[in-house]
Chain A
């Protein structure tokens, strides 16, 4: 018990409350700003349901070289700031006695994440828990942002491809731990004819990860839009006899799209976030050539590394 006890926080003080409010604003304001931006930039239309990609706020989209800021980038940053606010809010006022309920939730999340990483990647990778939790949280909240009417950044292939390339570099880093020669030799196994296929297999991992996530979210969005437009047409033809404004209102669109959205937006989004994180863990942990790496370490008189799966 050499650790110094954390100073007790006064959860009722004005300073604490002020900080709390600041963090809460940090959670809500970026999303509201995004909604305002979307409303300002959306061109006036007939109010029908339409399927479109990310809007472009700034810059030109005419050639390969031009840089532009699109809706998916802005929404990703909003989600990132919002998640940061959530984390600061949940870890605000930590104490040994757990005065606040949010501390229990924060502890539960951290514990679950560490157990997940330990069970799937092994003890050697336990420092990976924050990264896995971050990618899972960002992915899940990016997909769920469509519930407030914004464009999901994960429905843009560029975003998911960025994440997949990041994971790809991590996989390659651990694959090269066994030495360049051993890695090249692995490409030509079992017989040299398989070299092109092995090479394609290396690059197929990020491509399939990116397309899986993007395709699931996009298909959900497309199906929601199709159902919306179909119900609009149906209510126009069925309820067109109603007097006044009522005949223009798509009354059949009340209710049913929300029920379907529980599957297509909520379940699918959270599921894909979990799967992306899971594949990251499995691919990275499976990429390490333990025997080769330990043989190399032995040559340099370094201690052997053991990956204990809990």
Chain B
């Protein structure tokens, strides 16, 4: 019984971590857009290349935040949650 419960729990934690990383799609699209626009801007005005580049990198880093939230949730689910939930399961089945 305990083995079955553990197997289901670990599998679902892995699935949850995978689902959490769907959050990586958004920043990918957003940063791609940002870089495309920055390239356009540099093409129009090559003299302001350094300003555009620094602003773009700033914006990319901020756009990454939502993806990183997903990443942190996934990391917690993989490395931290199994330990916590195993204890809870053992207590519940006893």
Contacts and interface: CB of A to CB of B under 8 A. Distances in A.
The answer on A and B forming one complex is yes
Interface of A: 51, 208, 211-212, 214-216, 218-219, 222, 271-272, 275, 278-279
Majority-rule SS of B interface residues: helix
A218 B69 CA distance: 12
B57 interface: yes
B64 A212 contact: yes
A215 B58 contact: no
B12 interface: no
Contacts of A219: 68, 71, 75
Contacts of B72: 211, 214-215, 218
A208 B65 contact: yes
Nearest to B58: A278
A-B complex: 3 closest residue pairs judged by Cβ atoms: A215-B68, A275-B61, A212-B65
A219 B21 CA distance: 12
Interface string B40-67: 0000000000000000011001101100
A216 B57 contact: no
21 contacts: A51-B79, A208-B65, A211-B65, A212-B61, A212-B64, A212-B65, A212-B68, A215-B68, A215-B69, A215-B71, A215-B72, A216-B64, A218-B75, A219-B71, A222-B75, A271-B61, A275-B57, A275-B58, A275-B62, A278-B58, A279-B62
Majority-rule SS of A interface residues: helix
A211 B66 CA distance: 10
Given A214-B72, A215-B71, A222-B75, 16 more contacts: A211-B65, A211-B69, A211-B72, A212-B61, A212-B65, A215-B68, A215-B69, A215-B72, A216-B64, A216-B68, A218-B75, A219-B75, A275-B57, A275-B58, A275-B61, A275-B62
B85 to A, nearest CB: 18
B79 A271 contact: no
Among B61, B65, B75, B79, find the residue whose CB has the most chain A CB atoms closer than 10 A. Answer: B61
A208 B75 CA distance: 17
B68 A211 contact: yes
B75 to A, nearest CB: 7
A279 B69 CA distance: 18
